[in-house]
Structure 1
Amino acid sequence: MSAAAAPRSMLPQRQRWPPDHRLPDHRAHPNQTPPPPRPRPPEPSPRRARRRLAPLEPSVYAGLLRCASRTRSLALARLAHSHMVRAGYRPGLFLRNNLLAAYTRCGDMRYARLLFDGMPRRDAVSWNTLIAGYSSQGSPRLALCAFRDARRDGGVAVDRFTYATVLAACGGVRDGRSGRAAHGLAVVSGVARTAFVTNSVIDMYAKCGMIDEVRLVFDRAQERDEVSWNLLLSAYVRMGWPEVAVNVLVWMHRSGVKLDAFALGGILKACSELEDSEDVRMMLHGCVIKVGLDLDYFVGSAMVDMYAKNGGLEEAIKVFDCIPGQNVVIYNAMIAGFARLGNEPCTETRIEAVRLYANLLQRRIRPSKFTFKSVLEVCNLTNAVRCGRQIHAHVILSGFQDDEFIGNALINLYAKARLVDDSLRCFNSTPKREIFTWTSMITAFVHDEHPDKALDLFKELRYLEKEPDQFTMSTVMTACAALSVPITCEQIHCYAVKSGFDQFTCCGNSQIEMYRCAGDLKAANKSFETISCLDTFSWSQMILSYAVHGHEREALLLFKKMEDCGVMKNEFAFLAVLVACSHQRLINEGFRHYESMVSDYGFVGDVKHIACMVDLLGHAGKVADAEDFIMGSGLENDAVLWHALLRACRIHGDKDRGIKIGEKLIMLEPCAASSYVMLYNLYMDAGKISLAMRTRGQMRERGMTKEAGISWAEFGGSIHQFVDGDNSCSQKAETFTRLEELLVSVKQKTQHFGMNVWEMGFQARKVGENSISKHGELLAVAHGLTTLPNSAPVRVMKNQNMSWESHETLKLLSEGENREIIIRDPARFHHFSQGSCSCRDYW
């Protein structure tokens, strides 16, 4: 227990003497025994007073503050300041400026400002230090305010360093107006004649993008040095004018200016963006060798990058091999060059980047985050997932798993391999998630056919108050297109309009696709008309929208208009017009466009183009010609083409050919349950019951089950699912009641006209066939007719092709209900209205 906290009885008490007591005089009585000495009263024990420290020498304080500034140690700066205060030392102007510089260099501008305001006297160094501190800490506005205060201070004359600092602050915020004012003040004060201030003015105008002012200041400068020329060169490089930058370099050489690594490195970087400039690249390479900078790391990496970006792999490798003692910068430039080669080079060429990475590790060179980013991009381009996993392990061991660019590369790598769970782990382990990280993860969900998860992630993005960009919105619209939910599509569209993203062409194109897949052709057309800058994809999307919704004539007219406008056509545009020709049964026009695509434009038809041509021939009943076309396409082992031909066989009643195609599909797709189900139906239609039972037995032996038919629609802001053959209590009783009423009315109509829709199907279908009341699309339509307003169309999506019975039933329902019913199945859209369908009974 301390003395301050102890009870009074425990503390030593001061002895009190009587007031009249007098000490005996020992000198007066020499024979008398002196009394014992009076005990010395103990001193009180209050809290120990703080001792004042001895001040250090000014040179010691100055050394400590210089060390704090150099190492950016805020603790050391505060320790030296605290020692001055405790020692009662009053530093002069020199030490106060050093202390101010230490605080500004360490980033503590609050205490720097307090110290500055408490200074009894200030000079130009004090103001320069404060202005430079604000500028370096990202507060250029405060730097400009400090400059104005410095000019108002009559006792201080601003010098060239003050103007250089404030010009740098103006360039940092790209405030050309304030920079121009500071330039004018420098001219008036007479300091603008020096090369030091001239260089600051040039740099400020270059950062503000005022290239005309840069050239004017340079041409009228009274003093120039190498820095002036380099700044002029870098200004043109920053503006993206490499041709002018090359002319400036030639001008520098003719003017006798020494070309250093900064100038050559900048011009090499600019020329890496030049196309068809092999002569310029060779000239610059020769210039680098003549000045003796071909072994410089900075210039060498720029040369490697220049050659690699323009496809000069052999030259890049030669430059790489000539640089002695390569470091990580040189390796990064070389690996990044392989990552930028585009889609043309083969996999073996790109895999050289992985070998370079292995060589870097063998030489015990520590890779940087740029190394990992580039090599992961190469793994993504080559689909080298296994190699990418190994590099992912190296990323974790090197401590770079928190980098947002590496995390984004890993998300794209796993997403391309359909490993969306691994992409999600990389996304969750990235602490700093930029908008491109969110976009990559949303895209991964969309490509993995999880559009609902993509929309949930977008909702989380908005909940965190992060602003998406146009690419994010385009991906989200693609997710809405996959779900085909009209209300959600309209909500996303409204957000895009409010945020201004609808002005971007990529968002407009995705918006057309979104409304096309949602079955709203009018909204798709309106989106097409509002796009200010149409590209090839815009025209193609709208042509395809007309084609799949039964407006083939409008699609062909729009394609003709696209040709008249001189828009460059691509494979997707030809695919859209081939779909239109197929649905309209225009054989001659379809073949004309197909031959034009191959001969005039040099495009090679892929599976989708060939399938359109097979479907076109099948529409016209030329099943044998369609089979010959498949055999001559070189893609006879692709199941998609045979599915298209099988559809034509079933429509035109070619049972023998259909059975042969079904057996071929079993060989091509031995693990696809749909092929077995299709062959089973073909056997049953042909009356071959034993073969049908054998096919069902094969399915049972191989553990395959028929995929359930699912229909879904959006009612009241939520998605409702309807499964074929499921009469569970998950649906409301009103839906079944409504459906029974509708079916009764349809049955009365069919009997009135002397036909029965349930007897018009294939008579051989027997066991296991669900009744028509159990079809999911009919349940969804009945639910929509019950809940939606009378004027609203009913839109339903289905994962399987509709049966013939459902198709005929919906035609009759549309006539009785006097409203449009839209069904989307994997084949196409069906617009039922007034007793007819847009597919013209062919799907």
Structure 2
Amino acid sequence: MPPPFPSPDAFYLHLLRACASPRHAAAVHSHIVRAHPAASLFLRNTLLAAYCRHRGGGGHARRLLDEMPRRNAVSYNLLIDAYARQGLAPLSLRTFDRARRAGEGPGVDRFSYAAALAACSRAGDVTAGKALHALAVLDGNSRGVFVSNSLISMYAKCGDMGEARRVFDFADERDDVSWNSLISGYVRAGAHGEMMKVFAMMRRCGIGLNSFALGSVIKCCSGHGDGTLGIAEAVHGCVVKAGLDSDVFLVSAMIDMYAKKGALVEAVALFRSVEEPNVVVFNTMISGFCRAETAVGKEVAGEALDLFSEVQSRGMQPTEFTFSSALRACNLAGYFEFGKQLHGQVIKHSFQRDDFIGSALIDLYFNSGCTEDGFRCFRSSPKHDIVTWTAMISGCVQNELFEKALSLFHEFLVAGLKPDLFTISSVMNACASLAFARAGEQIHCFATKSGFDRFIAMGNSCIHMYARSGDVDSATRRFWEMDSQDVISWSALISSHAQHGGARDALQFFDEMVDAKVVPNEITFLGVLTACSHGGLVDEGLRYYEIMNKEYGLDPTIRHCTCVVDLLGRAGRLADAENIISKSIFHADPVVWRSLLASCRIHGDLERGQLVASKIMELEPTSSASYVILYNMYLDAGELSLASKTRDLMKQRGVKKEPGLSWIELKCGVHSFVAGDKSHPESNAIYTKLQDMLSRIDGLALTDTEISKREQNLMNCHSEKLAVALGMIHLPQSAPIRVMKNLRVCRDCHLTMKLISKSENREIILRDPIRFHHFRDGSCSCADYW
């Protein structure tokens, strides 16, 4: 009976191929050294290959190479390639140099150059790559298609498409790899036009299409945001003609391409044409339904979830991508209960450690308002990367946990992670909502140093932040510093000036926007109508309300309607405002009626106000705003008994008035106050300063209504007055005092702020939920039209 292995080398070769780690290879190596000290070069190279196959075996391989009595090009190539695959470019190039200098036969060959160039590609070291290119020319190795393809790939991956194209053009010979490398390089560089030219040239040269080339072209079409289907359909035709329409990889890529173009009908038709779709095809279609480029609604997201159910009914094993896409569909459609059931499936399949699933679950719980569950998902995640951190920060902003969002961002930076554009924008929105100008400026500086300042989205966030912090001049300056502006930029600028009392400036910017050929959207017109409302520009506001539909095809929303009601109501045209509500599709929405009620109070129309208040209380019986407006209206009219009844009605119905809160940002932090607040460490100094300022105001007229001494004392310690007093104590004379308030400023405080600005010779900027008030020298930017 013959032995199982005809020679010792064959026996060792069998063992080395079975090695699963450097430790196993070392055991075989030890046996070879003892039993066959004069092993052949072939066996030694095989041992070298066994070490190189596994991460961590590089050190053993290098020592073996040093000990080998004889080496050839294969010996060196194995180590050059191993270092390249492990991302150790310097060691790979050093080994290449050693091989080239060795006087042992052919030290380097085309495979040596290919491995060394791959190391340069992975490291992005185009300088070393060019040096290798020069050596290949000197050695006569650059003319072969194998090395020229490696050079094209290296230059393309290093981003130097000019050199890649030159190598391609001057190559003596080209094959499929040459064309594919150049095409994929152009796709990676975003040079879609050049890629399509090369693809067309490839077709003219009669080069056969393969899945790699077509995959690159499809990827290019997917990323090209021109919104047209012509090229996409042409590429689809090429796939069919090449007989590759059954290739799962290409079918998935084409479904993704159509979905990104917003062509869901074509994507679904292609998906249904696949006879035996696997989970990858299903994943692509589910993801396609959730694309931002498509009109994602409940119906579309429901289709995605139906496909998820089909995956399970077919007995397929869903992947991490299946779950992350399905959870995204739940978030988009608001199917939060279904999403929670998916969470259970995620745990069942042990996918809860996946980063994308973790961030999707965080989004799910924050979108549904279950913030504690969102924090629980975050804390249970085994690792926190930028995706999960950003999901947490944006979720906190969405749920108005702005201070927590800033705290998380600080933790994020302490963890040594680098934020992306979306993270920075979310943090900037938190600063804007809190009106933390100083923190916002620091974030802006950070964004500039990080290179994010060049993005339009970052510029838009800065405009919003500065405007919401009371610095409209910085917001305007940031707008003009941007290299280009989109509709969001213009809308933010218009809204900024509208909120700060610059109605005419806002309308002027709208005209400049139209002249710049930027098409306004719903947000733009909201800013324009707000400007007209705050500026008392009735005719202009009605004209813009009309043209937004007639000239731009935009249907008014509840917010536009409310602006027009406010515009007419402030101007005293209460009947016209009521007529607008009655004829609109929003006649059952309490928001528009509440706007009319506020105008009834301004103009003292008690009879209409009572009817409007009754209607609001029917629609929204637990909202405190309408009760408070009606209560104040009765006080203004001297109807103290009716005011008392309104207050008693609130108590009976369990309606609680939202407490007024004001805050101010100083160098030592953010300080917040409620009316009559004495919890601040500097409370005594604050009240002393406030009384000192009030004593300097001569002839302060509060209201014509009889007000009790208790209510008078309470007015004198309203939260915004306490915040202003603290600002007077700490801020230098040249600095404006910026105070933010969660409720509308009352008449007494508005008058008081005007008089304090004159007596103290200070600028006071007060933001309430409706607008900004800039008090200077005894007057306000609103011109008392608020």
Fold shared per TM-score above 0.5: yes
Are residues 1:199 and 2:199 paired? no
Quote the offset at 1:245 in angstroms. 5.1
| Residues 395-441 of structure 1: per-residue CA shift (max 9 Å, x gap) | 22222212212222222233333333232223223333332332221
Task: Work out the CA distance in 2 between the residues paired with 1:237 and 1:495.
Answer: 31
Are residues 1:628 and 2:604 paired? no
* Alpha carbons of structure 1 residues 540 and 272: separation in structure 2 relative to 1, 3 Å: closer
Quote the offset at 1:842 in angstroms. 2.6
SS of 1:604's equivalent in the other structure is: coil
* Alpha carbons of structure 1 residues 761 and 809: separation in structure 2 relative to 1, 3 Å: farther
Task: Work out the CA distance in 2 between the residues paired with 1:168 and 1:497.
Answer: 34
Q: Which amino acid aligns with 2:701?
A: V
The count of corresponding residues between Structure 1 and Structure 2 is 777
Tell me the equivalent position of 1:703: 654
Task: Work out the CA distance in 2 between the residues paired with 1:726 and 1:502.
Answer: 41
Q: Which moved more, 1:666-675 or 1:110-119?
A: 110-119
Q: Mapping of 1:66-145 within 5 angstroms?
A: 66-68=17-19, 72-85=20-33, 89=37, 91-108=39-56, 109-145=58-94
Q: Which amino acid aligns with 1:159?
A: D
Task: Work out the CA distance in 1 between the residues paired with 2:280 and 2:138.
Answer: 45
| Residues 232-263 of structure 1: per-residue CA shift (max 9 Å, x gap) | 44344444455665665565556554433333
Are residues 1:839 and 2:782 paired? yes
Tell me the equivalent position of 1:802: 745
Out of 148, 167, 187, the residue aligned to residue 117 of structure 2 is: 167
Task: Work out the CA distance in 1 between the residues paired with 2:424 and 2:776.
Answer: 34
Q: Which moved more, 1:422-431 or 1:145-154?
A: 422-431
Task: Work out the CA distance in 1 between the residues paired with 2:213 and 2:480.
Answer: 49
Quote the offset at 1:479 in angstroms. 0.7
* Alpha carbons of structure 1 residues 716 and 294: separation in structure 2 relative to 1, 3 Å: closer
Task: Work out the CA distance in 1 between the residues paired with 2:244 and 2:449.
Answer: 54
RMSD of the alignment, in Å?
A: 2.8
Q: Which moved more, 1:271-280 or 1:481-490?
A: 271-280
Task: Work out the CA distance in 2 between the residues paired with 1:620 and 1:83.
Answer: 99
SS of 1:150's equivalent in the other structure is: helix
Quote the offset at 1:646 in angstroms. 1.9
SS of 1:771's equivalent in the other structure is: helix
Task: Work out the CA distance in 1 between the residues paired with 2:664 and 2:292.
Answer: 45
Q: Mapping of 1:219-238 within 5 angstroms?
A: 219-238=169-188
Quote the offset at 1:173 in angstroms. 2.8
Are residues 1:641 and 2:592 paired? yes
| Residues 331-353 of structure 1: per-residue CA shift (max 9 Å, x gap) | 11221221226352542233121
Q: Which amino acid aligns with 1:370?
A: F
Tell me the equivalent position of 1:333: 284
Are residues 1:459 and 2:410 paired? yes
Q: Does the Cα contact within 8 Å between 1:614 and 1:644 map onto a contact in 2?
A: yes
Task: Work out the CA distance in 2 between the residues paired with 1:822 and 1:394.
Answer: 52
* Alpha carbons of structure 1 residues 310 and 806: separation in structure 2 relative to 1, 3 Å: closer
Tell me the equivalent position of 1:261: 211
Q: Does the Cα contact within 8 Å between 1:651 and 1:842 map onto a contact in 2?
A: no
* Alpha carbons of structure 1 residues 254 and 505: separation in structure 2 relative to 1, 3 Å: closer
Quote the offset at 1:606 in angstroms. 1.8
Task: Work out the CA distance in 1 between the residues paired with 2:30 and 2:136.
Answer: 39
Tell me the equivalent position of 2:618: 667
Are residues 1:774 and 2:717 paired? yes
Are residues 1:715 and 2:658 paired? no
* Alpha carbons of structure 1 residues 103 and 650: separation in structure 2 relative to 1, 3 Å: same
Task: Work out the CA distance in 2 between the residues paired with 1:291 and 1:513.
Answer: 52
* Percent of aligned positions that are identical: 48
Task: Work out the CA distance in 1 between the residues paired with 2:227 and 2:413.
Answer: 45
**Greater CA radius of gyration, 1 or 2?**
1
Are residues 1:570 and 2:521 paired? yes
Q: Which amino acid aligns with 2:490?
A: W
| Residues 22-42 of structure 1: per-residue CA shift (max 9 Å, x gap) | xxxxxxxxxxxxxxxxxxxxx
**TM-score in terms of structure 2 length:** 0.91
Q: Which moved more, 1:338-347 or 1:656-665?
A: 338-347
Task: Work out the CA distance in 2 between the residues paired with 1:611 and 1:765.
Answer: 35
Task: Work out the CA distance in 1 between the residues paired with 2:678 and 2:167.
Answer: 83
Tell me the equivalent position of 1:395: 346
Quote the offset at 1:290 in angstroms. 4.5
**TM-score in terms of structure 1 length:** 0.86
Quote the offset at 1:488 in angstroms. 2.6
Q: Does the Cα contact within 8 Å between 2:568 and 2:577 map onto a contact in 1?
A: yes
Quote the offset at 1:163 in angstroms. 1.5
Are residues 1:579 and 2:530 paired? yes
* Alpha carbons of structure 1 residues 728 and 452: separation in structure 2 relative to 1, 3 Å: closer
Task: Work out the CA distance in 2 between the residues paired with 1:509 and 1:253.
Answer: 44
Task: Work out the CA distance in 1 between the residues paired with 2:184 and 2:437.
Answer: 52
Q: Does the Cα contact within 8 Å between 2:296 and 2:332 map onto a contact in 1?
A: no
Q: Does the Cα contact within 8 Å between 2:148 and 2:167 map onto a contact in 1?
A: yes
Q: Does the Cα contact within 8 Å between 1:685 and 1:763 map onto a contact in 2?
A: no
Task: Work out the CA distance in 1 between the residues paired with 2:523 and 2:636.
Answer: 37
Tell me the equivalent position of 1:811: 754
* Alpha carbons of structure 1 residues 225 and 498: separation in structure 2 relative to 1, 3 Å: closer
| Residues 158-184 of structure 1: per-residue CA shift (max 9 Å, x gap) | 111112212222222333343333334
Task: Work out the CA distance in 2 between the residues paired with 1:265 and 1:524.
Answer: 44
| Residues 603-630 of structure 1: per-residue CA shift (max 9 Å, x gap) | 2222222222222222322121122122
Tell me the equivalent position of 1:596: 547
Q: Mapping of 1:300-339 within 5 angstroms?
A: 300-339=251-290
Q: Mapping of 1:369-768 within 5 angstroms?
A: 369-686=320-637, 691-727=642-678, 732-746=683-697, 749-750=698-699, 757-758=701-702, 760-763=703-706
Q: Does the Cα contact within 8 Å between 2:604 and 2:637 map onto a contact in 1?
A: no
> Structure 2 stretches of 5 or more lacking a match?
1-6
| Residues 746-783 of structure 1: per-residue CA shift (max 9 Å, x gap) | 3xx11xxxxx624x243378997763223121222222
Q: Which amino acid aligns with 1:95?
A: L
Task: Work out the CA distance in 1 between the residues paired with 2:784 and 2:266.
Answer: 62
> Structure 1 stretches of 5 or more lacking a match?
1-55, 751-755
Out of 64, 87, 95, the residue aligned to residue 146 of structure 1 is: 95
* Alpha carbons of structure 1 residues 626 and 289: separation in structure 2 relative to 1, 3 Å: same
Q: Which moved more, 1:783-792 or 1:455-464?
A: 783-792
Q: 4+ residue stretches of structure 1 with deviation over 6 A? A: 764-769
SS of 1:714's equivalent in the other structure is: strand
Task: Work out the CA distance in 2 between the residues paired with 1:414 and 1:285.
Answer: 40
Q: Which amino acid aligns with 1:351?
A: G
Task: Work out the CA distance in 2 between the residues paired with 1:640 and 1:613.
Answer: 12
* Alpha carbons of structure 1 residues 302 and 682: separation in structure 2 relative to 1, 3 Å: same
SS of 2:464's equivalent in the other structure is: helix
* Alpha carbons of structure 1 residues 737 and 209: separation in structure 2 relative to 1, 3 Å: closer
Task: Work out the CA distance in 2 between the residues paired with 1:744 and 1:242.
Answer: 71
* Alpha carbons of structure 1 residues 94 and 347: separation in structure 2 relative to 1, 3 Å: same
SS of 1:712's equivalent in the other structure is: strand
* Alpha carbons of structure 1 residues 556 and 413: separation in structure 2 relative to 1, 3 Å: same
